[in-house]
Amino acid sequence: MAQAQDNKPLFILSGLMIIYALIASSDVLHPLMKYLHTAKTADLQVSMGFICGGVGILGALINSVRKPGTTIIDRFVLQPLPGILLILVMAMAIRWYVEPVVKLISQNLQPVLGFKIYKVLNLNYVILGLLAGVLITNTYGIPKFAAAGVKCARFVLKMGVIMLGARYSFAELAKLGSYSVVLVGTFVLGTVFLVLWLGKIFKQPKTMTGVLSAGMGVCGVSATVAVAPVVKAKSEEMAYTIGTILSFGIICMFVFPTVGHMAGMNPVQFGAWAGTGILNSAQVAAAALAFNAVDIKTLKVAEIFNITRVLFLPIIVLVLATWFGKQSGQKLTFKEVVIDKFPIFILGFLLLFAMSSMGLFSPPTHYKGKFIDYSYNERTQVTEKEWEALNGAVQNNTLQGLKPEQLAAVKDLVAQRQLAGNYESRADKKLFNKQGQERMFQLESILAAAKGKVLTLDKSVKGAIHHAIKQVHKKSKTVTTLTDCMIWFFAFGLIGLGMQITKKAIFQAGGWPLVMGIISGITKATLSFFVVLWLVKDVVLK
Amino acid sequence: MFTSLLLCTHGTAGAQYAEHLVFADLCVKNPDLNVSVLTIIDQDWQNMTGDDWLNSSKTHTKFLDHVEQQMQEENEEDWQRIKATYPAAEKAQFIGVVGKIEQTIAQIAAKNSNDLIVIGPYRESRRLFNLKMEKGLRSRIKPATLHPLLPCPLLIAPVCSITG
Amino acid sequence: MSKDKITINTGDAGKGESEIAKEANTEELEERALSVFSSERNEDITALVLSLITTFIVLIFTKWM
């Protein structure tokens, strides 16, 4: 596509970013950020604005000076750049403005509705991003200038998975791996056979049960797309199946985290359940991040399950190919299915895992990679629930018997939602850390006093303080930065993938695939729910 | 009055009214009528991969290749059905094109210099609640998109009883 | 769809040995697999290389500097 590119959107987008960064770097926005609880990310907001805006302007300038060609730089950098920037602008706006606003609105609506909307629907930035993507595609449509960039979403998500590899230890990988092989193996094969059996009962053509069983069993649309040519599915079978799987998956994305919270699942259990029960693997990632977007424990578990499913996909393709091979007259070799289709990004995942295991990412000056970090970070914060417990205790004056300095430390913890120094002294790292240390000492003394039965603390308050202290015991800076990058990749990828879900595709749902899909999908989700609760108990993630 | 006619069909019940109108009525009254039968493979098939991100482009292309081949085979079957049902269809020209529905109709009509386009009447699809499956993608012709593009008059066939 | 559709030469594939319409436009569907990568190029490898680059940039800024 060597046509002249329209540079205006790129200039406008990057201009906006730079202007925003300029405004944010002056302290004008500080009251607003404080109101929205995003003040801690102010520095990141400024630097991301400048860097992305700068790259955008540079790209736009290059575009307007040189003739568009078909070189690698053209295809992979210059053409997708406007779209990439658009998604980035969306991601930043959603993370720093839309999500906090949604939280505030649903907090204000709580007296009217009786519940918090964002809690019930898990409307965090990941889900909001995906929804924003879906919304744009189905209303205005993906803007022309962004089309090439949106197509990058797929491999950005793969980059996210690769980088996630840095976060596992050998023990975790072994434990989670064995669980996922057992669970995914059971439920993949179980669902495939259930659908094939249902197809027999309802007297449906084998080609249809072929695509549907792969889709319901392994990884949703991905499996359907991979299997359809193999079993030579008819047009209506593909359309109905994909529509059914897409709509089922989107419902799951909202239902799973809510049910998980209600059932009191821990991150590992939820990750295992989502990884087994949700069909589309992108939606597994989204649901895991919806369950808990700050802590990546759930994502870690869910992705292992995802990877296991990806590894199961070629096996299923092979099985179905032999099943249908006689009819379609198409022969598939082991090489064609398994080796050609082997997802190389999983090797990348393992590579990062190996690099991390060799200690490449742990800081040289710190023993065994752990140290204390008071700097502002979403992953340093206490959870929403813990914050409410603490806030309630402070508001209702239930913290009896604390020394004034101890109470002050708790109050600051409530105000900042994490252990830290004073916000004003954040530029002076030494002072800031000293203040943080002082507070941590006070909090630790509270816990010690509670343990020694000098004072009695509510269990939830004790847990919250404990967690707050634990949260500042950090992995190495490298690992946290890598994790930050990874979360952005996921957010980016999911917005982009949201843009590829069209309502037309969803509305293809119906017919026998819908009936059989609902039966097998609900069976799978329910059964795996109980199996996970029963089986996955003892895994503890760092 | 009209000499060259473009019949848009994809084999659904609604489209069959259009087929009936053209081949059992118009062609019988006016045997010199030059008919082109157009079946469109919906461009939106490429969106059917949805939020799949695991497969590489190769798998996607393979999937789309399969869709296209499959749709062409199904179109062929459909055309055979038309030919078998209406003797007048024997000399019609059959065209299969990949593209967006409205744009393709307009483009082909302009290219073939047809002077009348015939489509089927609006029809409730009720796809979600209907166990009987219909071929291809569920898709509607959007009048708002099609009408400004029209190179020639558009005729919508009435609902009638098809006797074959 | 009328039930009494005529049988076309089905071959052993269960599908018509139909000749493909001459005017069918194959290019448009093939052109877009909804990826910036043409089918030959392996996007996984690019993703891997890019994440390695990101990793090293992060390493440079957080560890080696």
The stretch A349-374 carries a mean pLDDT of 70
Domain boundary among A474, A491, A509: A474
Residue with tokens 């993703």: C47
Give B80-118 pLDDT, tens digit per residue.
888 888 888 888 888 888 888 899 999 999 998 888 999
What's the CA dihedral at B60, B63, B69, B70 to 10 degrees? -150
The stretch A505-527 carries a mean pLDDT of 90
Quote the number of domains for chain A: 3
Q: Determine the pLDDT at residue A317.
A: 82
Burial status of residue A338 (CB atoms within 10 A of its CB: 0-12, 13-18, 19 or more): middle
Neighbours of B (≥3 Cβ pairs closer than 8 A)? A, C
The stretch A153-169 carries a mean pLDDT of 86
Question: What percent of chain A is modeled with pLDDT above 70?
Answer: 92
Across chain A, what does the average pLDDT equal?
Answer: 83
The alpha-carbon gap from C49 to the nearest alpha carbon of chain A, in Å, equals: 9
Work out the pLDDT band at C50, boundaries 50, 70, 90: confident
Give A96-154 pLDDT, tens digit per residue.
899 889 888 888 888 887 777 777 777 888 889 999 999 998 988 888 888 888 888 88
Identify the CATH class of B4-156.
Answer: alpha beta
Contact B57 C1 (CB under 8 A): no
Domain-located, residue A257: yes
Are residue A244 and residue A301 in the same domain, yes or no?
yes
Task: Report the candidate in A356, A186, A152, A267 with the shortest Cα–Cα distance to residue A540.
Answer: A267
Q: Determine the pLDDT at residue A337.
A: 66
The pLDDT of residue A527 is above 90? yes
Are residue A66 and residue A176 in the same domain, yes or no?
no
Choose the most confident range, by mean pLDDT, from A60-64, A119-123, A495-499, B121-125.
A495-499
Across chain B, what does the average pLDDT equal?
Answer: 85
Are residue A214 and residue A234 in the same domain, yes or no?
yes
The stretch B46-75 carries a mean pLDDT of 82
The pLDDT of residue C10 is above 70? no
Give C17-49 pLDDT, tens digit per residue.
333 343 444 444 444 555 555 444 567 777 888
Domain-located, residue A449: yes
Are residue A298 and residue A211 in the same domain, yes or no?
yes
The strand pairing partners of B4, in sequence order, are B34
Domain-located, residue A137: no
Are residue A435 and residue A518 in the same domain, yes or no?
no
Of B50, B71, B134, Cβ closest to residue A242: B50
Q: Determine the pLDDT at residue B49.
A: 83
Three-state SS at B87: helix
Q: Determine the pLDDT at residue A93.
A: 92
Mutant choice from B42, B47, B49, B52 vs A, greatest count of A C-beta within 10 A:
B52
The pair of three-digit structure tokens given for residue A391, joined into one six-digit string: 């806030």
Count of A-C CB contacts under 8 Å: 85
**Roughly how many angstroms between the first and final C-alpha of chain B, as a whole number?**
25
Are residue A451 and residue A499 in the same domain, yes or no?
no
Are residue A331 and residue A251 in the same domain, yes or no?
yes
Q: Determine the pLDDT at residue C36.
A: 54
Are residue A389 and residue A263 in the same domain, yes or no?
no
The pLDDT of residue A526 is above 90? yes
Domain-located, residue A53: yes
Residue B45 has phi, psi (to 5 degrees) of -55, -30
Q: Determine the pLDDT at residue A316.
A: 83
Please give the single-letter amino acid code of residue A459: K
Measured distance CA(A390)–CA(A396) in Å, rounded: 10
A327 in contact with chain C, both atoms CB, cutoff 8 A: yes
Whole-number Cα distances in Å, A517 to A185, A511, B49 = 19, 10, 18
Q: Determine the pLDDT at residue A328.
A: 55
Residue A88: CB atoms within 10 Å:
23
Domain boundary among A115, A147, A176: A115
Containing structural domain, residue A104: 8-115
Residue with tokens 């907001």: A45
DSSP A474-511: EPPHHHHHHHHHHHHHHHHHHHHHHTT--HHHHTT--H
Are residue A213 and residue A333 in the same domain, yes or no?
yes
* Residue B8 DSSP code: E
Are residue A408 and residue A443 in the same domain, yes or no?
yes
Measured distance CA(A62)–CA(A316) in Å, rounded: 47
Domain-located, residue A130: no
Measured distance CA(B137)–CA(A507) in Å, rounded: 10
The pLDDT of residue A236 is above 90? no
Contact B98 C26 (CB under 8 A): yes
* Closest residue on chain A to B138 (Cα): A508
Domain-located, residue A269: yes
Are residue A226 and residue A352 in the same domain, yes or no?
yes
The pLDDT of residue C13 is above 50? no
More confident residue, A381 or A133: A133
The stretch A265-269 carries a mean pLDDT of 86
Of C19, C33, C37, Cβ closest to residue B64: C33
Domain boundary among A50, A85, A115: A115
Q: Determine the pLDDT at residue A19.
A: 92
* Closest residue on chain B to C43 (Cα): B56
ipTM: 0.90
Contact C44 A344 (CB under 8 A): yes
Domain-located, residue A201: yes
Q: Determine the pLDDT at residue A118.
A: 77
Please give the single-letter amino acid code of residue A354: A
Choose the most confident range, by mean pLDDT, from A52-56, A376-380, A424-428, B42-46.
A52-56
Work out the pLDDT band at A362, boundaries 50, 70, 90: low
* Closest residue on chain C to B70 (Cα): C15
Mutant choice from C51, C52, C63 vs A, greatest count of A C-beta within 10 A:
C51
Work out the pLDDT band at A90, boundaries 50, 70, 90: very high
Are residue A87 and residue A190 in the same domain, yes or no?
no
Domain-located, residue A89: yes
What are the residue boundaries of the structural domains of chain B, listed by start?
4-156
Work out the pLDDT band at B33, boundaries 50, 70, 90: confident
pTM of the model: 0.81
Measured distance CA(B81)–CA(B84) in Å, rounded: 5
